[in-house]
């Protein structure tokens, strides 16, 4: 039985998207050079992954000579928001408090990160009260 099409990017696709968000539009070679800093990949593996991502609508590609230049179709914020929304619904039945509690238990944030989280909560609360 075929696996259902995943709406959110896979781990490998996210790795490629991080490169595109950071560097902007890139060729396969440019993406390969960046992802190889983390772990070695074959050129054809990255090319295949980018073609799959284009078919899924995660990236756009423009011809550039005999190659293509790829760019992310959605911003980092929109993509990560979709992933969090998916996890929130599927794993936590929509419970934001359970998601945040689990996140804190798993990530062990530093005091600086906790202060940033508190600032984000305070800003969100102010927006709700407007």
> In terms of domains, do 110 and 68 share one?
no
How much of the chain, in percent, has pLDDT values that exceed 90?
91
pLDDT-based confidence at residue 49 (cuts at 50, 70, 90): very high
Q: Domain containing 31 — which CATH number?
A: 1.10.10.10
Model pTM score:
0.83
Whole-angstrom distance, CA of residue 31 vs CA of residue 36: 8
> In terms of domains, do 62 and 15 share one?
yes
Domain that residue 113 falls in: 95-130
Residue-wise pLDDT tens digits, 74-123: 999 999 999 999 999 999 999 999 999 999 999 999 999 999 999 999 99
> In terms of domains, do 66 and 104 share one?
no
> In terms of domains, do 17 and 68 share one?
yes
Q: Is residue 79 part of a domain?
A: no
Mean pLDDT over 60-83 rounds to 96
Cβ contact 86:97 at 8 Å: no
DSSP string, 18-85: HHHHHH-SB-HHHHHHHHTTTS---HHHHHHHHHHHHHHTSEEEEEETTEEEEEESS-HHHHHHHHHH
Q: Is residue 123 part of a domain?
A: yes
| Confidence at residue 3, expressed as pLDDT on a 0 to 100 scale | 59
- The total of structural domains in the chain comes to 2
Cβ contact 27:41 at 8 Å: no
């Amino acid at each position: 039985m075929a696996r259902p099409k995943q709406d959110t990017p896979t781990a490998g696709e996210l790795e490629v998207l991080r490169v595109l968000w950071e560097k902007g539009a890139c060729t396969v070679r440019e993406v390969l050079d960046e992802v190889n800093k983390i772990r070695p990949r074959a050129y054809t593996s990255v090319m295949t992954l980018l073609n799959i991502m284009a078919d899924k609508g995660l990236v756009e590609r423009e011809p550039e000579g005999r190659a293509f230049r790829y760019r992310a179709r959605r911003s980092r914020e929109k993509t990560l928001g979709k992933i969090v929304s998916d996890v929130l619904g599927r794993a936590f039945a929509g419970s934001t408090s359970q998601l945040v509690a689990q996140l804190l238990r798993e990530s062990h944030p530093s005091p600086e990160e906790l202060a940033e989280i508190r600032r984000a909560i305070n800003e969100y609360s102010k927006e709700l009260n407007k």
